[in-house]
Chains A and B, each alone.
Chain A
Amino acid sequence: DGGITQSPKYLFRKEGQNVTLSCEQNLNHDAMYWYRQDPGQGLRLIYYSQIVNDFQKGDIAEGYSVSREKKESFPLTVTSAQKNPTAFYLCASKRGEAGANVLTFGAGSRLTVL
Chain B
Amino acid sequence: SQQGEEDPQALSIQEGENATMNCSYKTSINNLQWYRQNSGRGLVHLILIRSNEREKHSGRLRVTLDTSKKSSSLLITASRAADTASYFCATDDGGATNKLIFGTGTLLAVQP
Residues on A facing B (Cβ under 8 Å): 4, 6, 31, 33, 35, 40-45, 48, 50, 56, 58-59, 88, 90, 92, 94, 97, 99-108, 110
Contact = CB atoms under 8 A, between A and B. Distances in A.
3 cross-chain pairs, A with B, having the tightest CB-CB distances, nearest first: A105-B42, A43-B102, A42-B104
Contacts of A31: 98
Contacts of B48: 97, 100, 102
B45 interface: yes
Contact of B99 (A6, A48, A88): A48
A40 B31 CA distance: 25
Given A101-B99, A108-B42, 20 more contacts: A4-B42, A6-B42, A41-B105, A42-B2, A42-B102, A42-B104, A43-B43, A43-B102, A45-B101, A48-B97, A48-B98, A58-B99, A90-B42, A92-B43, A97-B48, A100-B30, A100-B31, A100-B33, A106-B42, A108-B40
A41 B104 CA distance: 5
B94 A103 contact: no
Size class of the B contact interface (CB-based, 8 Å): 20 to 34
Contacts of B101: 45
